[in-house]
A = this chain, B = another copy of it.
């Protein structure tokens, strides 16, 4: 399956989007993530695998712990590429983009 397909498949689940939100603050182990949900560890493990296969998160094994972190780059570029294909240059996307750039001017 190609990447955009994997990305949208991964993002279609509310718990998976919630996982990404948790990981946007900090890296977490599989167990720490599971703690934040009312769901078994095996179920969580599947969600994490789906996110990792879509390249939206990275997993790194440290001893017996699996540390997961957000892969912002692939998330942003995937969604950006998708949107860009649907939006003719000079149209909505451009306005949105300019607005974003302007909003962040001072930071």
Chain A residues proximal to chain B, CB less than 8 Å: 4-5, 8-9, 11-12, 14, 17, 20-21, 24, 70, 72-73, 75-77, 79-80, 82-94, 96-98, 100-101, 104, 107
Contacts and interface: CB of A to CB of B under 8 A. Distances in A.
A90 B107 contact: yes
Given A97-B100, A107-B94, A76 B87 contact: yes
B12 A85 contact: no
A contact face: mostly helix, strand, loop, or mixed: helix
Copies of this polypeptide in the complex: 2
A21 B85 CA distance: 8
Nearest to A94: B104
A90 B92 CA distance: 22
25 contacts: A8-B11, A11-B12, A12-B12, A24-B85, A24-B86, A24-B88, A70-B86, A72-B86, A72-B91, A73-B92, A75-B86, A76-B92, A76-B93, A76-B96, A80-B96, A84-B100, A90-B104, A94-B101, A94-B107, A97-B97, A97-B100, A97-B101, A98-B101, A100-B100, A101-B101
